[in-house]
């Protein structure tokens, strides 16, 4: 028997795992697993595939209706489902790129600030506040 809040517990534990992995990346010369496309693609597929499967199983009619919106022009009725299906399939890849880019940009900014603290004694107190 699964407790009622098992989904919330799963999401919370995944959040803490990602938080710990990214905080450990602040150690100099450390491996940051979420900066690589392979790990973020795995993470995004783990969230995207169950969601799409559940929606297709439980709300199949609504999902198919989403592929061809009501009132679309007759000339576009052939192309719209293809475009909508492609946009559904590409979502994990765009999520992968966004996650990796945002995480690597944050770590690069922290490395730059730490470099400035080492090079300038005058700026160090202000940069420590920012960090």
For residue 33, being part of any structural domain is answered with yes
Could you read off the pLDDT of 85-129 as tens digits, one per residue?
Answer: 888 889 888 888 888 888 778 777 777 777 777 777 777 677 667
Question: Into how many domains does the chain fold?
Answer: 1
In a domain, 40, yes or no: yes
CB 79 within 8 A of CB 85: no
Most distant pair of Cα atoms in the chain: their distance = 68
> Helices 60-67 and 37-58 sit at what angle, rounded to 10 degrees?
110
Do residues 25 and 35 touch, judged by C-beta distance below 8 A?
A: yes
Does 22 reside within a domain? yes
pTM for this one? 0.61
What distance in Å separates the CA atoms of residue 31 and residue 34, rounded to the nearest whole number? Answer: 9
Checking if the pLDDT of 1 tops 60, the result is: no
Residues 128 and 39: their CA atoms lie apart, in Å, by 31
């Amino acid at each position: 028997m699964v407790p009622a809040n098992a989904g919330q517990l799963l999401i919370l534990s995944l959040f803490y795992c990602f938080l710990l992995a990214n905080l450990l990346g602040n150690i100099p010369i450390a491996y940051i697993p979420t900066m690589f496309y392979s790990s973020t693609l795995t993470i995004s597929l783990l969230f995207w595939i169950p969601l799409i499967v559940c929606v297709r199983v439980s709300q199949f009619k609504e999902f198919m209706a989403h592929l061809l919106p009501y009132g679309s022009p007759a000339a576009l009725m052939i192309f719209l489902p293809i475009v909508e299906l492609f946009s559904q399939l590409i979502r994990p890849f765009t999520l992968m790129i966004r996650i990796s880019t945002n995480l690597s940009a944050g770590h690069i900014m922290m490395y730059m600030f730490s470099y400035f603290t080492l090079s300038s004694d005058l700026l160090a107190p202000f940069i420590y506040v920012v960090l």
